[in-house]
Amino acid sequence: MHYSGDLDMTRRGLLLGTAATAALTAAPFRAPARAATVGETAMPPPATGADAPSLSPVLSKVTFTVNGQRRDLELDTRTTLLDALREHLHLTGTKKGCDHGQCGACTVIVDGQRINSCLSLAVMHEGGSVTTIEGLGLPGKLHPMQAAFVEHDGYQCGYCTPGQICSAVAMLDEIKAGVPSHVTADLTAAPQATVDEYRERMSGNICRCGAYSNIVDAISDVARREA
């Protein structure tokens, strides 16, 4: 990219600036509205575990490896692995989609297995080894799965892509390791690398642009080359 002078900013910087402006604009209106709702509603408040004491944020130290590099962090215990990667380590390749384990955009590989990083606390990964999309490959030195997604046009907007790619890499390893799936015909035989298997096994990664057929082509291509 060849931006010059004042225009030299990243897409992320621009989006963060826009979000901050939006938050400032919305805040004065939102606060009184919320107060009124609490006073007027007849509905019971959410369950709070009434006997549980109310706590201030609690900090905890954790050390794990991300893309081969040791990371020492001190985090609010509530911090998910996803937020630790994005907000504390600034590895923004891993995306936050639904934040509830339903979309797969946050998929990373931990100790060799794909997981939803949004549904895992960072402090629970002491001593663990995390691989994100940045650790699979970088521009100029792409992982074969990244290259195949580019070649087969396995995306439109690209937001689900890092999760799709991390998921696909670990998914092919699961087939190699002999893990069966819902569509495996014979449970006692080794699962085969087929399109039906890829579709079933990738169902935890949603693509709202609907690039599924090209994603399957990319995965098939990589699986063929590895075979």
Positions in the binding site for other proteins (CB under 8 A) = 43-44, 46-49, 51-58, 60, 76-78, 80, 99-101, 104, 107, 113-116, 119-121, 123-124, 126, 167, 170-171, 174, 177-182, 184, 187-188, 199-205
* Minimum distance, C-beta of residue 114 to other proteins, in the bound complex (Å): 5
- In terms of CB distance, is 76 or 151 closer to other proteins? 76
* Minimum distance, C-beta of residue 152 to other proteins, in the bound complex (Å): 21
- In terms of CB distance, is 28 or 46 closer to other proteins? 46
- In terms of CB distance, is 23 or 59 closer to other proteins? 59
Cβ(69)–Cβ(85) under 8 Å?
A: no
* Minimum distance, C-beta of residue 215 to other proteins, in the bound complex (Å): 14
* Minimum distance, C-beta of residue 72 to other proteins, in the bound complex (Å): 17
